[in-house]
Every structure is written in structure tokens, then in C-alpha cells.
Structure 1
Amino acid sequence: MTHQAGDFVEAHCGKCGDALRHAVVALVNGEVVKVQCMVCGSTHKYKPTTRQAKTDSPGTVRRTKTASGVSTTRVSTPRSPAKATSSSGKAARGRRDWEEQMAKRDVSTAKPYSMGACFAEGDLVDHSKFGFGIVTKTTRPDKMDILFEEGPKVLRCTL
């Protein structure tokens, strides 16, 4: 059985800095993706605890408590090879797009990335970890989509 919104899971809270009880807020294909800390109230991506990450391997069964106190069982199933192939195909397309865009650019014009710097669509960015990327979209108030060699990323900026 998969989780439902309102179920409780143990997750790491970056604000509290500890592995605590969290309420499930969002699910994608039955997998928990967003949770809310029951201590500080912050909502964030689901970050399983080290213990859960080890035990949540494909095909495992785990007991959890729901809001009503009833135990539920979640069974993880292995990912199908078809999904792995489609995601690698998507990555290859993203890399080809990046290579085509970079072929038209002069890397000496790249702006060094900084969260406090201003960027516009089409700008070439030099990131210390991801390398060169092209700003594909800016989103108010402080985010931008950048296409890097390893794929698209959403980073902070000043608009």
C-alpha cells in the first residue's frame, strides 16, 4: 500500500536539523516527495533518514503510522527497465540541446554564477560545480532555469 497525504513518515528536517516525524504533503506515483515537519511546521522535499534510505531498497516492506494511528504497510517495487531507458534518453536529448547551444556561444563571455548576480534569458553562466550553462527562463522573484551539460537546474538569482 502506498502513502496518502496526511500519513506520517520519519524524515530529516533541515530547519530543525534532526530526523523527526513529518506529515506527507505531496506524492508522485505513490512516492513521497514533499513533507511538513510536525515540530517546526516547515514544508520541504522528502529527505529520508539514513536508516530509511538503507531499508527502503526495492522490494522492502515497512510499517508506518497514519494520522488515525492505524498501521499501514508500504511495499517498494523495483523500477522497470523501461523507465530507466526513457530517463537516460531524456538526459541524452538534454545533453544534445546543451551541445548545440554551446556551439553557438563564446565561453569567454560567460558570467560567473552568484546568487546575488542578475541574469536574463539567453545569458551564458559559468557555475563552479555544474560548468557552463545557458539561462533558459527566469521566474520571479528570484529563480532561473539553466541548461547545463548534465541537464536543467533551477538556481537562485537576482532579477
Structure 2
Amino acid sequence: MATTTINAGEEIDSGCLKCKTLTNHTIIAKVEEKIIKVQCNVCGGRHNYRPAEPATTKKKSDSAKGPASKTPTSRSIKTANDNYSKILKGRSIDQAIPYTMTSLFDTNDLVNHPTFGLGIVTATISPNKIELTFNEGPKIFICQLKTLAQLSTGSGLKAKKKKRVRKSIEPEM
């Protein structure tokens, strides 16, 4: 039996992440008989050796599940539609505020979004983020940051501006 040993400096096929394909590589480092590092002859990238995968494909069993789909299920769509209908009930479309990123919104405001249509502000996540519930479900949007003056107008307090005082720095002698 003649065994061929592959040494550093020789070429071998390896999977390259930059090229995203199986390409020809030069062996850079080995530990005992195991190839550790290779350099791609196409892009010049140096990385760990990734052996060529065998040509045979494994058959998936019927019970194996794939990754979860990102599309909502019919059950979640139905509950979103029910919640939307309950919240929208008794409201006039004429009262809808057009959505812009510079507008201020409060909870339960009816909003008309140019892409998603009518929605209701169901939550204020932070001073500049709101959750709008649409027919398809809830979505998070950015709105104008509420300043201290805008927050305090409701309680009757006025915001005071601080004046900056420039300190003169005298050179030391």
C-alpha cells in the first residue's frame, strides 16, 4: 500500500468563504498529518482548512423539521385582525393623523401610514419610538423625540434653558 503524504506548499481543494465556493488552495500549516491552514489561490485569503464535502447528499427524514418560517401563521394573523378590529371599532377615519417621523403621537391615536394604512398607537416604547397596530399586526416606528419643553407643557411647567458660561483660562506664570 502506497500512502501519499501531502506537505506544506502543495495544493489542495478547500472551501473558501470569501469566494463562496470550492477552490484550489496552497497548504500553509500542518500538525502531524492534519492540514490546519490554507491560502486561497483565487482571492489570496488565509483561513482554516475546510475539506471538500462529499458528493453524496443525505436524505432528510420526514419527521425532521426545517427552520421556522418567517411568515406569520394564519392563527396569528387572525388574532391580529381581531385585535385591530376591536381597537378600531367606533373610530372615524377622518380623525387619523398622517404619519411622519417628525410628528408626536400619544397612545390610542389613530394614524394613517402611507404604506401600511390605518394603525393605532398601542404603546410608546421610548420617547422617540411607538408601536402601531395595523391589520397585519404590530410594527415599531420612529417619531419625533419629545423634548423636555413638550413633556412639561402638559403639567404647566416651563422648561428653562441653561446658559453656558465660558470660563476664561488664564495662563500660568
The TM tier, using the shorter chain, reads 0.3 to 0.5
TM-score (structure 2 length as normaliser)? 0.44
TM-score (structure 1 length as normaliser)? 0.48
The structure showing larger relative contact order (alpha-carbon pairs under 8 Å, at least 6 residues apart) is 1
Would you tell me which structure has more helix in proportion to its own residues?
1
Q: Which has the larger radius of gyration?
A: 2
